[in-house]
Structure 1
C-alpha cells in the first residue's frame, strides 16, 4: 500500500519524499512503475520538477534509462508500422489503428511514453483475409487462423527482424472481445466515418475519433479489470483523452455511453483517472453518467477474479443475443474452439491430447457457470 501511495502522489504531480531506512523501496517503486507502464512517463513529466527531487540518484537513473530504451524501441516500431500500413493500403485493406499506437502518436508528449507489446488494427468486414496475406508476405506468422466471432475476434501476427527485434500486430475483426453489444454497436463503417488522421504514421494511418477512442479505452480497462486490476498506463490513456474532449464532445460521450449501456463503466474509469492523475472532468459529468447505470449488465466486468469475470461476461453476452440459434453458436464456439486455438491457448504440441483438453474445457466452463460468483 505504501508503494501505491507513493506512486499515486507522483502520478498526480505532488512532491514525493521516499521514506528513509526502508530497504529496497527504490527498487520496488521502480519495478511497480515499470509494471504499470508509467516509468518513462514519470521521468518525462517530472524529472525537471520538484516531484522527484527527493528520489535517490540510482532510482532516477533507472527511470531515465527506461525512458531512453522505450524511445528507441518506439522509433523501430513506428518505422515498421508505416511499412505495414502502406502495404495494406496498396492491397485495398481498409483499417483503423486502435488503442496504444495511435494514442501514443496523437496524445502523448513524446515518443516512447506509451509502452505496448503490439500494434492493434481494426479491419473492415471482409478485409481480414487480404490483410493476413500481406502480413505473411512480410514474413509474419500467426498462432491460429480463426477462433470464431464469439470466442476471439482477433488474430496475432509476429515477426523477428534481422536485429532480433520482435514486431507484433493484432488484427481485429471486431473492436472488442469484452462485450458483444459494444462491438456490434461500434461497427467499422460508423467508426471510419468519424475517424481522424494520424499524420506522424503516414498517409495511410487513421484512427478513432476522440470520443470513440475514450469509449474503447473505458471498455478495454473494464475487460481486463477482473484479472489485472488497475493498469495505470491504460488509465493515463483515459486521462489524456478526457482532457482532450470539448464540452460538445463530452455531451456526445454521455449520449453514446448510454446507447452502448456502459455509462457506469465510463463513470468508474473517469473517477479512477481523476483519483490517480487529477484529471479535469466537467462538473457533474460523472453524476450524469451514473444515472441509470446501476442496471447495466456491463458493470459485471468490474467484478474481481477471473472466474467471476468469465461467468458474468458469458451471461451478459447470452442476454444480449436475441436468437436461440446464435446463443447456441456462441456456446459451441466457446466450448469447442478450433484445434489450433486450443493448442495455443493451453500450450500443448501433440494433437492426440485434444480430446482431453476439450473435456477439461467443458468441465471448467460448467464449474465457472454454476459455482463461481
Structure 2
C-alpha cells in the first residue's frame, strides 16, 4: 500500500494529487501542514508536477495563498533553469557527436524530454550519459575538460564504479553536472545484463536536444527505471514519488508489442522479482495500468532469484549478492580491495593525504567511518 512506502500524510496527499484525486484540506494534516507539504514535494522531486496538477484543477482556488505562491514561484524557477539546461546540454551533446563519441541519455534527462509534457516537470541534479566503454568515456573526458568541466572525487577501480562525475560553472547559473557512465549501472548484477550495442539498437531520438541526441528505447528505459529505483533504495535512499511516476509514465506509453518484449527480456535476464516489486508499487501509488498477464512472466527463474531483492535493502545481504554476481574469486577480491583501499588519487582528493603516515591515518579514518555508517544502516534495516 501507499501508506507503507510513504507513511506521512503529506506524501500520501501528494500521491493522490499526482494520480488525479486532489482534495483540500487533506485528511490527517493540521494547520501547519503547508510547509511540510512543500518539503515533502521537494524531497520527492514532484514540486513542479504538483503545481501543474493543482493549477489545472478547480481545487486551485481553494488552496491557501501561501501554498499557491510558493508553487508558482518554484514552477517559474524550474522553467528558467530548464531553458538554460536544454541549451547547455545540447551544446555538450553536439560537441561529443562532432568528436565521434556515441552517447545514450539515461534516467531523468531522457525521461524529461521524451515522456513529460514539459521537461521542466522532471527535476534532476545531473545529466546522465552512457558511453560504449571506459576508453570512450576517458576520450570524452579530454573533450569535456576543454569545455571547462572539472572532475569530482570518486572511488576508483574497475569493479567499484563505472562512472565519473564532472561539473562546469556557467555564471550566473549554478552550472551543469554530467555523470558519464560506461556501464548501465554500478551494480555488477545489473550492469552485465545489457550490452551497449544491444541498447543502441533500440535507441530513440531526443529531438529537443539536437539531431545527435538519443536515449534508451521505451522497454529498456522501463527496466532501467525499475532497477535504478531498487538500487537506490538499497543505497539507503528513501523512496521517491518521482521514481514511481517515471515508471507509471513509461508503462502508460508501452504498446502491446512492447509489453511482450518487456516480459521476454525480464524473464530471460532473470530480473523478475525486482521488476515485479517496482511495478506493483507504481500500481498501488498511481493506479498504473499493467496488463494482468505480465506478472505471470515476472516469476523467479531460479530458486535463488528472489534473493535479488536483497539489492533493495541496505545491509550485508546486498553486498554479498553483488560479490556473488562477479564471476571469479579474483574479481571478488579485487572488488573488496577496491572498497577497503581506494586509490591514492581518491584519498588525496577526499582527505588531502597521498603518502606516509598521513595516508595511513586517512585509510584508518575512512575505514572507521565506514564501519560506523554500515553498523547504523544494518541496525535500521533490522527494525
Q: TM-score, normalised by structure 1?
A: 0.90
Cα 1:55/1:290, change in 2 over 3 Å: farther
- Please report how far the alpha carbon of residue 292 of structure 1 lies from its aligned counterpart in structure 2 after TM superposition: 4.5
Distance 1:170 1:232 in 2: 22
> Aligned pair in 2 of structure 1 residues 49, 287: CA closer, same or farther (>3 Å)?
farther
Alignment partner of 1:286 is 2:291? no
Aligned match of 2:5? none
Q: How many residues align?
A: 364
**Deviations along 1:13-50, whole A, 9 cap, x unmatched?**
11312259923211111111121111111211331214
1:153 paired with 2:157, answer no
- Structure 2: unaligned runs, 5 residues or longer: 1-7
Write the mapping of 1:26-175 to structure 2, written as runs, cut at 5 A.
26-125=34-133, 126-144=135-153, 147-175=156-184
Note closer, same or farther for the CA distance 1:215–1:169 as it changes in structure 2 (3 Å cut).
same
Counterpart-to-counterpart distance in 1, 2:92 and 2:280 = 37
Q: Is the 8 A contact 2:282 2:288 kept in 1?
A: yes
> How far apart are 1:258 and its partner, in Å?
2.3
Structure 1, unmatched stretches of 5+, are: none
The equivalent residue for 2:4 is none
Deviation of 1:3 after TM superposition, in Å, equals 1.4
Q: Which residue of 2 aligns with 1:338?
A: 343
* Aligned counterparts of 1:196 and 1:220: Cα–Cα separation in 2: 20
Residue equivalent to 2:329: 324
- After TM superposition, the structure 1 = structure 2 runs for residues 204-215 of structure 1, keeping only pairs within 5 Å, are 204-215=212-223
Residue 291 of structure 1 and its aligned partner are, at CA, apart by: 4.9
Large movers: runs of 4+ above 6 Å: 364-367
Give, in whole Å, the separation in 1 of the partners of 2:342 and 2:269: 28
Cα deviation for residue 257 of structure 1 reads: 1.6
Residue 302 of structure 1 is matched in structure 2 by 312
Residue 17 of structure 2: which of 10, 13, 29 is its match? 10
Do residues 349 (structure 1) and 355 (structure 2) align? Answer: no
**Contact residue 104 and residue 114 of structure 1 kept, 8 A:** yes
Could you tell me whether the CA contact under 8 Å between 2:23 and 2:59 is conserved in 1? yes
Q: Kindly state the Cα deviation for residue 4 of structure 1 after the two structures are TM-superposed.
A: 2.4
SS at match of 1:163: coil
**Alignment RMSD (CA, Å):** 2.4
Q: Secondary structure at the match of 2:121?
A: coil
Aligned to 1:236: 245
Residue pair 2:248, 2:283 contacting (<8 A) in 1 also: yes
Secondary structure of residue in 2 paired with 1:127: helix
User: Do the aligned partners of residues 134 and 231 (structure 1) sit closer, same or farther apart at CA in structure 2, a change above 3 Å counting?
Assistant: same
Residue 363 of structure 2: aligned partner: 358
Taking structure 1 as reference, are residues 74 and 293 closer, same or farther at Cα in structure 2, changes over 3 Å only? Answer: farther
* Contact 1:222-1:265 within 8 A present in 2 as well: yes
Aligned residues of 1:236 and 1:277 also touching (Cα < 8 A): yes
Give the Å deviation of 1:118: 0.6
Shift of the alpha carbon at 1:362? 4.8
TM superposition score normalised by structure 2: 0.88
Report matched runs for 1:215-230 at 5 Å.
215-226=223-234, 227-230=236-239
